[in-house]
Amino acid sequence: MRLDSYFYPMQVEIISIGDELLIGQTINTNASWLGSELSLGGVSVRKCTVIADVKDHITAAIDSAMKSFPLVIMTGGLGPTKDDITKDVLCSYFDTELVENEQVLERIKDYFEKRGRPMLESNNLQASLPEKCTVLFNNYGTASGMWFEKNGSILVSLPGVPYEMKGIFLEEVFPRLKERFSLNGIYHITVMTQGIGESFLAEKIGAWEDKIRAEGFGLAYLPSPGSVRLRLSSDQGERNKDKIQAYMEELVALIPSYAYSIGEVSLSEVVGGLLRKQKLTVGTVESCTGGKLSGEIISVPGSSDYFLGGLVTYSNDMKSSLVDVPVEILNEQGAVSKEVVKLMAENGRSKLNTDICISVSGISGPEGGSDDKPVGTVWIGISTSEVCDAYHFTFGGNRERNIQISVLTALNLLRCKLLGVEIENK
């Protein structure tokens, strides 16, 4: 993956505190959310650290981060429970002590009154905050955020509860950062692609990429199974919006069989939009994807406008009895073959009474591969009123990925068919 992090002048380390993060009980969504917000806002996240609720570790992590970065954002360990020791550690590090903050105490009292709940002594303690910090009010809970400065670096400490952390960050932290560092914000546009790997893609769009980089834009390749997102960014906020849009249109025109949208849209939404516009209906006959293709199509609200139904013909018997694939053909060619997917699509189209039918048959693995047809071999058929075509793919060795990639590939083939885009089938 290529990152366009060279853009950002302002750098930050995120420190996540909590034993539950280390033992895998809680996923560190705070770090990923902050990572996304900060980088969109024009701050480069250079390091994420996860540490236990242990005094020495917290002190060491703070010290190292404050010496390396102008900004450190910490989450967790601020609650009323005994294991939350962050505040004491912060007091020692910043050489200050806890003092009761009247305003915060009032807010906490109010918080409990409004909810009709009694206030505990431990909640009282949450109004005790380090004297040397700027208090960041929490409109969503009782643990305040804190902003410290030392030797030219800033440290912000936020509660661990995700919605409290988000609230304080958006209301109290980011506006301060924006003003203090005149952040422009990063403007991104993403082009979604399917059916081509990162390196092939880089080769195909090399000249275009050189051109946009020379203009000072950044490009990131963000791969996931079966697709790659291309994210173009500018550190000039929205100033270059029109130019970026035009570059993205150029990119899509370079790779029409792979690029399926400008903006983060799913393939099933794109395909759904095309079917609706062209007033066409679709059905599926699935073997190796076991219904997941239908599942993906109907994940889009309103898909009943164009999706009529699907058949899951997992066994050979079902392929014969439900979509009339002759037993002889199954025996001669095998269930994973051009002839079989074409019959599945063609006969499925008439059984389901749709304008288009897509069929999928493949060897997902881990068992069932042979020299001729290794695990990952997939055939996809598409039948329309005019043609019935079949496409052959060899994906990989992982069952789950093969299924997922088969679904995306089938949808992309359908998209190309609907747009009359020539399919590059390697």
Nearer to ligand ATP, 16 or 287 (CB): 16
123's contact among ligand ATP, Mg ion, none, with CB below 5 to 8 A by partner kind, is none
Determine the interface stretch with ligand ATP among 22-30, 99-107, 192-200, 357-365 (rule: CB under 6 A): 22-30
Q: What is the nearest approach in angstroms of ligand ATP to the Cβ of residue 117?
A: 14
81 lies in the binding site for ligand ATP (CB under 6 A): yes
75 lies in the binding site for ligand ATP (CB under 6 A): yes
Q: What is the nearest approach in angstroms of Mg ion to the Cβ of residue 121?
A: 16
145 lies in the binding site for ligand ATP (CB under 6 A): no
Exposed, middle or buried: residue 425 (CB in 10 Å: 0-12, 13-18, 19+)? Answer: middle
Determine the interface stretch with Mg ion among 72-80, 223-231, 365-373, 387-395 (rule: CB under 5 A): 72-80
Nearer to Mg ion, 27 or 253 (CB): 27
> Which of 51, 78, 89, 411: binder of ligand ATP (CB under 6 A)?
78
21 lies in the binding site for ligand ATP (CB under 6 A): yes
18 lies in the binding site for ligand ATP (CB under 6 A): yes
> Which of 162, 175, 216, 366: binder of ligand ATP (CB under 6 A)?
162
| List of residues 6+ apart from 305 with CB closer than 8 A | 272, 275, 276
Determine the interface stretch with Mg ion among 34-42, 81-89, 113-121, 336-344 (rule: CB under 5 A): 81-89
> Minimal CB distance to Mg ion: which residue?
79
What distance lies between CA 96 and its chain's CA centroid?
A: 41
Nearer to ligand ATP, 84 or 346 (CB): 84
Nearer to ligand ATP, 16 or 347 (CB): 16
What distance lies between CA 237 and its chain's CA centroid?
A: 22
Cα separation, 62 vs 219, in Å, equals 32
Tokens of 160: 């661990």
159 lies in the binding site for Mg ion (CB under 5 A): no
- In three state form, how does the secondary structure of the chain look? CCCCHHHCCEEEEEEEECHHHHCCCCCCHHHHHHHHHHHHHCEEEEEEEEECCCHHHHHHHHHHHHHHCCEEEEECCCCCCCCCCHHHHHHHHCCCCEEECHHHHHHHHHHHHHHCCCCCHHHHHCCEEECCCEEECCCCCCCCEEEEEECCEEEEEECCCHHHHHHHHHHHHHHHHHHHHCCCCCEEEEEEEECCCHHHHHHHCHHHHHHHHHCCCEEEEEEECCEEEEEEEECCHHHHHHHHHHHHHHHHHHCCCCEEEECCCCHHHHHHHHHHHCCCCEEEEECCCCCHHHHHHCCCCCHHHCEEEEEECCCHHHHHHHHCCCHHHHHHHCCCCHHHHHHHHHHHHHHHCCCEEEEEEECCCCCCCCCCCCCCEEEEEEECCCCEEEEEEECCCCHHHHHHHHHHHHHHHHHHHHHCCCCCCC
Determine the interface stretch with ligand ATP among 156-164, 267-275, 279-287, 331-339 (rule: CB under 6 A): 156-164
> Which of 42, 79, 130, 145: binder of Mg ion (CB under 5 A)?
79
226 lies in the binding site for Mg ion (CB under 5 A): no
53 lies in the binding site for Mg ion (CB under 5 A): no
Determine the interface stretch with ligand ATP among 3-11, 71-79, 280-288, 320-328 (rule: CB under 6 A): 71-79
251's contact among Mg ion, ligand ATP, none, with CB below 5 to 8 A by partner kind, is none
Count CB-CB contacts under 10 A for residue 367: 8
Q: What is the nearest approach in angstroms of ligand ATP to the Cβ of residue 116?
A: 19
> Which of 13, 30, 218, 231: binder of ligand ATP (CB under 6 A)?
30
240's contact among Mg ion, ligand ATP, none, with CB below 5 to 8 A by partner kind, is none
164 lies in the binding site for Mg ion (CB under 5 A): no
Residue 362 amino acid letter = G
Determine the interface stretch with ligand ATP among 74-82, 212-220, 307-315, 339-347 (rule: CB under 6 A): 74-82
84 lies in the binding site for Mg ion (CB under 5 A): yes
245 lies in the binding site for ligand ATP (CB under 6 A): no
29's contact among ligand ATP, Mg ion, none, with CB below 5 to 8 A by partner kind, is ligand ATP
Q: Contact residues for Mg ion (CB under 5 A)?
A: 79, 81, 84
